[in-house]
Amino acid sequence: MANATARLLLVHWHPVVLRGLAACLGHEPDLELVGLASSCEQALDVAAELHPDLVLIGYSTPVMGGIEVTRRLIEADRGTLVLLIGAMAGPERTARALQSGAMGYVLLETPPQELASLLRGLVRGKDSKPA
């Protein structure tokens, strides 16, 4: 992604996690943090307005849930790349994420630099998907 900047929207229901992700990823030179959302409904509104390249969504975001909002985001804009993030590991979470159209599922414990690298890889169109 030389010289390119990916527009990133962060979505998580927990304010500490949302702000933590923003603090970790907001200073990456090739990731432009264009918006934050604390609910699925807000994520849909913000994405429709800002057209991010990439959306990082909490898997367990209340009401609609990360899986359903992923489906809706991709349905609204096929070019949007989505990565789900959550606290619990398991192949069923990864499978559900992929079935929804997301590029993958990562754990909240993923180190910030590794998370940033995963996001860059998704934007570059790498074949490898996070597990």
Assigned domain for 62 exists = yes
> Does 130 fall in a domain?
no
Query: What is the sign, positive or negative, of the torsion defined by CA atoms of 110, 114, 115, 121?
Result: negative
Residues contacting 4, CB < 8 A, separation 6+: 30, 123
What pLDDT is stored for residue 5 in this prediction? 87
- The pLDDT, as a whole number, for residue 125 is 83
Q: What percent of the chain has pLDDT over 70?
A: 92
Kindly indicate the confidence band of residue 2, based on its pLDDT and cuts at 50, 70 and 90: very low
Residue ranges making up the domain that contains 105:
6-123
Residue 112 lies in a domain: yes
Question: Are 92 and 84 spatial neighbours (Cβ–Cβ below 8 Å)?
Answer: no
Number of domains in the chain: 1
Quickly list DSSP for the chain: -TT--EEEEEE-SSHHHHHHHHHHHTT-TTEEEEEEESSHHHHHHHHHHH--SEEEEETT-TTT-HHHHHHHHHHH-TT-EEEEEES---HHHHHHHHHHT-S-EEETTS-HHHHHHHHHHHHHT-S----
Task: Using pLDDT thresholds of 50, 70 and 90, give the confidence band for residue 128.
Answer: very low
For residue range 14-59, list pLDDT tens digits in order. 999 999 999 999 999 999 999 999 999 999 999 999 999 999 999 9
45 within a domain of the structure (yes/no): yes
Residue 129 lies in a domain: no
| pLDDT at position 1 | 41
Task: Write the CATH number for 80.
Answer: 3.40.50.2300
Task: Decide if 131 is inside a domain.
Answer: no
Instruction: Please report the pLDDT score of residue 71 as a whole number.
Output: 97
1 found inside a domain: no
Q: Which amino acid is at 67?
A: I
The full DSSP string for 59-82 is: TT-TTT-HHHHHHHHHHH-TT-EE
